[in-house]
Amino acid sequence: MIELLSQADARVIAYNIVFSHSDLSDENDAFLAQTIKISGRTILPLYFDRLLKEGDVLEVLPADEFRQYAGLGHVNSYLDSDGTLRSMRLIDRFLDHQWPHFSFASFLFNQPFSELFLQSHADVYITFVTEGDFKRYSFVDVLTGLVPPQELSQRTIFVGVTATSMGDPLLTPVDDSGRQSPAVDINANIFQALEHNSLIQSLPVWASFFINSSIIILVLFLIPRLSGLQQLVMTLTCFLLVCFLSYGLLNQGYWYQSAGLMMALVIIPFIWNLLRLSRLFNYFRQQLKGLRQQQARKIFHLPEYIRLNSEADLKSILSLIQIDDYWLLDDASTDDSSMLSVVKYLDIQIAQDKKVLALYFEDFTDFERRKVSILYQLLSAGTDSIDETSLASSIDNAPVSVDIFSQQLALVESFQQQLTMSHSLFEASIEGIAAGILVTDLAGNVLFNNKMLSELAGKHILELAELFPLVSLRQGDWINVLRDVILLQQPITVEARLMNTDLSVSIRCIESQQSLAPLLVFNLTDVSALKQAHRSRNEMIDFLSHDLRSPMASLQALVNQTRALSSSDQLTTVELIDKVDHYSQRGLHFSEQFLSLAQVESDEGVQIYEVDLYSVSQNAIDTLYHQAQEKSIKLHLDAIDECWVMGNGDLLERIILNLVSNAIKYSPNKSQVVVNIAFAGDNSQLELRVNDQGPGISLDLVTNLFKPYKRGADHNTLQAKGIGLGL
């Protein structure tokens, strides 16, 4: 085609096909490149596009072999908001490159300069015509020689696709029987406008501002001085003036955007007449404004029904109330359900589409009837209800009458007082509760939550699904708990965990007698202090049972030892009573010391005084002597001469008793437990060691060494509970 047009002596060949790829090993590509070179008058297109979905915008250029001897012009189209092509850019830029439009490049091919370069920075409007002074020829007719060469001589030829299914047609302002215009026609229109110098440019901003301001000032000056009929005549006159002005400027090549001015000519008289009545309705408008502001700030709204945006919302609700057998129909008459099942139909609306929901039940018991009732409350449209918006609308449209005005004013005042009181009471009550409150519909949309819930969760909860990953139930799962709350109509309280916080979660399904959808109310109470008190109680029991066990075990060992001795070796009554008294006093002393421990853990300080650590250790060993004899374990105290320290003797003895008692428990029979007291460091401290021949402390228990209720395991202590005070 390029060769034929060159032979016909065409002035410019604008070939609107992007040859972006080439292969010189292909004889066709090589021939095309050679033809473009020989022709010397070919214009090829380029465009800017994003080749990958997430990639950057790139220049799509013809291949190097083709563009080397051809002119280039962009074919980018910038549509208006309504999808119509009205303007184009004479020069388009990509990074530091400047490209003339495809038609502009064809226009400039045989002339070195054009004044249009001076306005190329702005978009210009295209003068579209359905029938221009350009001719159209079939591609095949030119190739087959049906078009005489003289018809093509010294003409600018635009070659492009006109078939709608193959090309890139665009909507243009020209009425062409509803058809879109192919790119080749658009380029021809642009070229024709360039040749005839009929391109249209926007009127300068300053000129538009001057015209608009002058007319608006004139209207504002006349309106207060004219009656209603005179205002109408003035508005129509201004309309005609603006229309003639727009037509005159268009003939001069300037596009004047007059729609805003025309809207102002309509709005200004309307607003002015409203202002004339403003004093009569000033108080009324203030009350309505306050009412609307409160409604705009309203954070809690009881929905009459759930709005379904998609079938996924419907599926979620049906899954929640355990309905699996259903069908979504366009019309109930299209249902071919079996006669063996009970079918219930419900009219619903998904987005903007009205549907019929068919529910199938094998047995329709009270439980299934409950499910259908919930669905009806959730999905019924409730069109008979009147909300605040319709109330405000009726107030706005009320006729001007003294009686009606007074009635509406009293209604607004009463409603606003009730609304203010209700909001204040509700917000004060909910925010004052030391528990997290969450109100949602059955679809999981959050309708209300208080500040305490955000503090517990660490963020603002927008959907119920955001709460489930944060709050883990100790037993069961959320879907079953919610299902029981909804279907069984009874509140449920469960225990849960939120990070390091113990929670008691109460859930209730609220159903109103009015046409409102059921709601779920969650009450999340922090019970960490209660749980800690319970754990402290268990600690107290374990401590008491352990500390009292040592003297009791010694008493039992004394009894067994006395029984085992011969009559000649048995202790005298006085000796026996003394030892029993000693051990019982020791048990009582431990009980009293536990009360002292509670004081130690409180804010009160521990009394510190000089203590002989040797005597304290010896007392502890004497207390445990008979317990050691039970397992034939020898107790030995190895200490330095001076063992005076600053401390509390009772508490130190308690620690040594704990260490030695545990050493006896975990040591094998006929072994030895040694208590060693020696200097540590620079002799300013004493170090007390308890050495035994037991299994020792395994590495996995070292981290729990200073925690209560942790112990090593052997056959002597498998049934024991706790380690008492611990270290």
Please say if the pLDDT value at position 576 is more than 70.
Answer: yes
Report the pLDDT value the prediction gives residue 64, as an integer from 0 to 100: 82
Q: From CA 99, how far away is CA 494, in angstroms rounded? A: 70
Structure tokens at 160: 């492009």
Under DSSP, the state recorded for 3 is H
Domain containing 502 — which CATH number? 3.30.450.20
Report the pLDDT value the prediction gives residue 397, as an integer from 0 to 100: 45
Q: From CA 570, how far away is CA 582, in angstroms rounded? A: 18
Please say if the pLDDT value at position 133 is more than 70.
Answer: no
Most confident of 96-110, 539-553, 705-719: 96-110
Mapping DSSP to helix (H, G, I), strand (E, B) and coil, where does residue 87 land? strand
Q: Who wins on pLDDT, 393 or 563?
A: 563
Query: Which of the residue ranges 62-76, 639-653, 705-719 would you say has the lowest mean pLDDT?
Result: 705-719
Q: Who wins on pLDDT, 55 or 155?
A: 155
Structure tokens at 615: 């005597």
Please say if the pLDDT value at position 386 is more than 80.
Answer: no
Q: 62: which strand partners?
A: none
Report the pLDDT value the prediction gives residue 681, as an integer from 0 to 100: 78
Residue 408 lies in a domain: no
pLDDT band at 689 (very low <50, low <70, confident <90, very high): very high
Looking at the structure of the chain, the number of domains it has is 5
Query: Which of the residue ranges 4-8, 174-178, 275-279, 420-424 would you say has the lowest mean pLDDT?
Result: 174-178
Report the pLDDT value the prediction gives residue 688, as an integer from 0 to 100: 93
Q: What number of other Cβ atoms are within 10 A of residue 318's Cβ?
A: 17
State the residue range of the domain holding 244: 205-276
Question: 262 Cβ partners below 8 Å, 6+ apart?
Answer: 239, 242
Contact 8, 149 (CB under 8 A): yes
59 and 184 part of one domain = yes
First-to-last CA distance in the chain? 99
Question: 324 Cβ partners below 8 Å, 6+ apart?
Answer: 318
Question: 173 Cβ partners below 8 Å, 6+ apart?
Answer: 84, 86, 128
Read off the pLDDT of each residue in 271-278 and give the average, rounded to a whole number: 77
Residue 413 lies in a domain: no
565 and 514 part of one domain = no
Residue 727 lies in a domain: no
**Structure confidence by residue, pLDDT tens digits, 13-37:** 888 888 888 787 888 888 888 888 8
Query: Which of the residue ranges 181-195, 218-232, 244-258, 333-347 would you say has the lowest mean pLDDT?
Result: 333-347
209 and 198 part of one domain = no
Report the pLDDT value the prediction gives residue 178, as an integer from 0 to 100: 59
Query: Which of the residue ranges 153-162, 273-282, 693-702 would you say has the lowest mean pLDDT?
Result: 273-282
Q: Who wins on pLDDT, 111 or 294?
A: 111
67 and 118 part of one domain = yes
pLDDT band at 563 (very low <50, low <70, confident <90, very high): confident
22 and 147 part of one domain = yes
Report the pLDDT value the prediction gives residue 680, as an integer from 0 to 100: 87
Q: Dump the DSSP string for 218-265.
A: HHHHHGGGS-HHHHHHHHHHHHHHHHHHHHHHHHTTEE---HHHHHHH
CA torsion 104→106→108→111, rounded to 10°?
Answer: -160
Residue 423 lies in a domain: no
Q: From CA 124, how far away is CA 90, in angstroms rounded? A: 7
Read off the pLDDT of each residue in 406-424 and give the average, rounded to a whole number: 69
Report the pLDDT value the prediction gives residue 678, as an integer from 0 to 100: 92
**For tokens 């199938």, what's the residue?**
360
30 and 174 part of one domain = yes
Q: Who wins on pLDDT, 486 or 283?
A: 486
Residue 336 lies in a domain: yes
Task: For 445-494, give the secondary structure using H, E and C.
Answer: EEEEECHHHHHHHCCCCCEHHHHCCCEEECCCCHHHHHHHHHHHCCCEEE
Residue 641 lies in a domain: yes
Q: 718: which strand partners?
A: none
- By C-alpha distance, which of 4, 28, 23, 30 is closest to 15? 4
Pairing of strands 97-100, 91-94: antiparallel
Domain containing 597 — which CATH number? 3.30.565.10
Give the whole-number percent of the chain exceeding pLDDT 90. 10
Q: pTM of the predicted model, to two decimals?
A: 0.38
Read off the pLDDT of each residue in 388-405 and give the average, rounded to a whole number: 45
HSE toward the beta carbon, residue 307, CA cutoff 13 A: 7
Query: Which of the residue ranges 144-158, 193-207, 350-364 would you say has the lowest mean pLDDT?
Result: 193-207
**For tokens 């401590």, what's the residue?**
543
H helices of 40-128, in order, are 64-67, 102-107
Q: Who wins on pLDDT, 209 or 285?
A: 209
198 and 210 part of one domain = no
pLDDT band at 568 (very low <50, low <70, confident <90, very high): low
Task: Indicate the residue among 202, 227, 258 that finishes a domain.
Answer: 202
Q: Who wins on pLDDT, 541 or 630?
A: 630
Contact 198, 253 (CB under 8 A): yes
263 and 161 part of one domain = no
Residue 14 CA, distance from chain mean position: 52
245 and 97 part of one domain = no
**For tokens 């109408």, what's the residue?**
232
Task: Indicate the residue among 526, 546, 581 that finishes a domain.
Answer: 526
**For tokens 């919302």, what's the residue?**
313
Contact 516, 503 (CB under 8 A): no
161 and 232 part of one domain = no
Most confident of 24-28, 554-558, 564-568: 24-28
Task: For 393-456, give the secondary structure using H, E and C.
Answer: HHHHCCCCCHHHHHHHHHHHHHHHHHHHHHHHHHHHHHHHCCCEEEEEECCCEEEEECHHHHHH
H helices of 565-642, in order, are 573-601, 613-623, 625-630
Most confident of 313-327, 372-386, 406-420: 313-327
Query: Which of the residue ranges 77-91, 363-377, 634-648, 710-724 would you say has the lowest mean pLDDT?
Result: 710-724
Report the pLDDT value the prediction gives residue 388, as an integer from 0 to 100: 41
Sign of the Cα torsion 118, 123, 124, 129 reads positive
551 and 648 part of one domain = yes
Residue 283 lies in a domain: no
> What value does the mean pLDDT of the chain take?
78
Residue 150 lies in a domain: yes
What b/e string do you get for 163-175 counting C-beta neighbours within 10 Å, with b at 16 or more? eeeebbbbbbeee
**Structure confidence by residue, pLDDT tens digits, 428-460:** 777 778 888 889 988 889 888 888 888 888 888
Task: Indicate the residue among 526, 560, 583 that finishes a domain.
Answer: 526
Report the pLDDT value the prediction gives residue 384, as an integer from 0 to 100: 42
Please say if the pLDDT value at position 637 is more than 90.
Answer: yes
672 and 697 part of one domain = yes
